[in-house]
């Protein structure tokens, strides 16, 4: 199917692709902290056992040459990493006793920010 979001060998993860395969770190973090623990756990339990196969599948492809399905798969794997501390460490979606996320900017490397960095 051409409207599949993930490469064929990972079609089992397709139900998660749209909502969890997010492109940038800030969106992935927002998704984590706004999700219920049961949803985080469901995602974690589905993706963790696939991580080794995901890496084996993507590793031969140069990062700059990933197609959109492969890129979505990589983002899904990054999302697994994002979700991991909530499951493995905090037992809650966000860091306990921490600086408010609304006041904490997560920016790409060269974002133009109040302190004046360059390039979006």
Residues numbered 14-43 forming contacts with other proteins, rule: CB under 8 A: 25, 29
Contact range with other proteins by CB under 8 A, out of 5-13, 15-23, 34-42, 75-83: 75-83
> DSSP readout, 15-43?
HHHHHH--SSHHHHHHHHHTS-HHHHHHH
CB nearer other proteins, residue 1 or residue 113: 113
How many residues bind other proteins (CB under 8 A)? The answer is 50
How far apart, in whole angstroms, are the C-alpha atoms of residue 30 and residue 39? 14
Using rule CB under 8 A, residue 68 touches other proteins: no
- Site map 77..116 versus other proteins, x via CB under 8 A: xx-xxx-xx-xxxx----xxxxx-x-xxxxxxxxxxxxxx
CB nearer other proteins, residue 18 or residue 104: 104
Between helix 51-58 and helix 68-85 the angle, nearest 10°, is 140
How far apart, in whole angstroms, are the C-alpha atoms of residue 44 and residue 63? 24
Short-list 46, 27, 26, 44, CA closest to 84: 44
In whole angstroms, how close is the CB of 104 to other proteins at the nearest point?
5
- What dihedral do alpha carbons 101, 106, 112, 118 form, nearest 10°? 160
Write out the residues near other proteins by the rule CB under 8 A: 25, 29, 44, 48, 51-52, 54-55, 58-63, 66, 74, 77-78, 80-82, 84-85, 87-90, 95-99, 101, 103-119
């Amino acid at each position: 199917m051409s409207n599949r979001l993930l490469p064929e060998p990972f079609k089992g993860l397709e139900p998660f692709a749209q909502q969890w395969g997010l492109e940038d770190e800030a969106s992935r973090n927002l998704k984590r902290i706004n999700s219920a623990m049961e949803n985080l756990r469901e995602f974690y339990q589905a993706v963790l056992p696939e991580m080794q196969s995901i890496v084996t599948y993507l590793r031969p492809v140069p990062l700059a040459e990933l197609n959109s399905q492969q890129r979505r798969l990589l983002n899904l794997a990054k999302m697994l990493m994002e979700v991991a501390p909530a499951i493995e460490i905090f037992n809650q979606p966000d860091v306990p006793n921490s600086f408010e996320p609304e006041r904490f900017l997560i920016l790409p490397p060269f974002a133009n920010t109040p302190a004046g960095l360059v390039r979006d």
